[in-house]
Amino acid sequence: MGENGLRAMCGTREAKLGTFIVEFATPGIGHLCKAAGCDFVLFDTEHSGFHNETIKSAVRYFEAARLPTIVRVPSKEYHHIARAADMGAEGVMLPMVNDAKEAKGILDCLKYTPLGHRGVALGIAHDAYRAGPVLEKLAAANARTALFAQIETKTGVKNADEIAAVEGVDCLWVGHFDLSASLGIPGEFTHPTFLDAIATVAKACRKHNKALGRLVPDIPTGLDYWSKGFDFLCYSGDVWLLQVALKTGVDGLREACRGTAPKAKKN
C-alpha cells in the first residue's frame, strides 16, 4: 500500500513507471524494485505459474516496500478476480477484455456491495487484518481496488470506447503481442493496422480520462508510447532484465579475456 495508491495514480496523466514480475517472487523483490525507482509492479499469474500462496506472500513483500501492486489474473472467473483482491492486490488486471458487458462483469466480482457482488471477507489480508465498522470497510475496499482492463483483441479495440466509458474501469492496458496476433500481424508493432489500433485505444482513454498502459522493452519504445498518451509504462521484466545484464557482463568479460591472455609465470 504505497504512498500513492493505484487508483490515485490512475487519476493523473503523469508518467508511472514500473516493471513486470514473472519469475522472481523472492522476499527482497519489493525493496529491490522500490530502490530502483519503480512506482508500481505488475505481478503476473497468467503466464508465470505462480499460485495463490506465492501471490499472497509476494503482495506482502511489495506492501513492505510500500510499492503498489497490480496482479494480473489468468481469467475472468470470479475465483481468480475476488481471490486476488482478498489476498491484497491493490490493482487487478484482466486479460482479453472485449466489451463493456465483460468489464461490468469483472467489476461485479471485484467490488463489494453496493458496487458489486464480491463475497464479503473482512479482517483478512486485503484490509491488513484490522477490525472496523463493516460499511466503512466495504467502502474503503471499493475505493482502494483498481481495475486494469487489457485490450489485446481486435474486438477489444473495436469496443475500446465503451470499455473506457464504464465507471470503475481505471486503466486500459494494451497487450501488444496478443493484440498483434488478433489483428493477423503477430509481432509487427510498426504495422499501420497495429498503430491504428493503438490510436483507437488512446483516443478512448483521452475521451473518458482513463489511464493507459503497456509493457515496453526499452527506453525508446517507452518514450514513443509516452508521446502516444500512455502514462503507465512497465519497463521490461525480471527475467529479461537479469538475462540482458548478465549476458552483457559475461560477453564483455569473455571478449576482454580473449584479447588479454594471462602471462605465463616464470620459474
Average pLDDT over residues 182-190: 97
Question: Going by C-beta distance under 8 Å and a sequence separation of 6 or more, which residues neighbour residue 92?
Answer: 70, 71, 72, 73, 81, 84, 85, 110, 145, 146, 147, 148
pLDDT of residue 260: 76
- What tens digit of pLDDT does each residue of 30-52 get? 999 999 999 999 999 999 989 99
pLDDT of residue 3: 54
Give dist(CA 162, CA 103) in Å, integer: 10
Give dist(CA 178, CA 174) in Å, integer: 9
pTM: 0.92
User: How many angstroms separate the Cα of 55 from the Cα of each of 22, 194, 199, 206?
Assistant: 11, 33, 34, 33
C-alpha cell at 145: 481496488
- Is the pLDDT at 262 greater than 80? The verdict is no
Let me know if domain 6-256 sits in CATH 3.20.20.60.
yes
- What tens digit of pLDDT does each residue of 198-226 get? 999 999 999 999 999 999 999 999 999 99
pLDDT of residue 265: 67
List the domain boundaries for the chain.
6-256
As a whole-number percent, the residues of the chain with pLDDT over 70 amount to 96
CB 93 within 8 A of CB 70: yes
- Structure confidence at residue 267 as a pLDDT band (50, 70, 90): low
Give dist(CA 84, CA 56) in Å, integer: 8
- For residue 146, what is the enclosing H or E element? strand 146-151
- Structure confidence at residue 1 as a pLDDT band (50, 70, 90): very low
- For residue 40, what is the enclosing H or E element? strand 40-44
Catalytic: which of 31, 47, 117, 176?
Answer: 47
What string of H, E and C letters represents the secondary structure of 85-109?
HHCCCCEEEECCCCCHHHHHHHHHH
Give dist(CA 151, CA 170) in Å, integer: 13
The one-letter code for the residue type at 13 is R
User: Is 47 labeled as catalytic in the residue annotation?
Assistant: yes
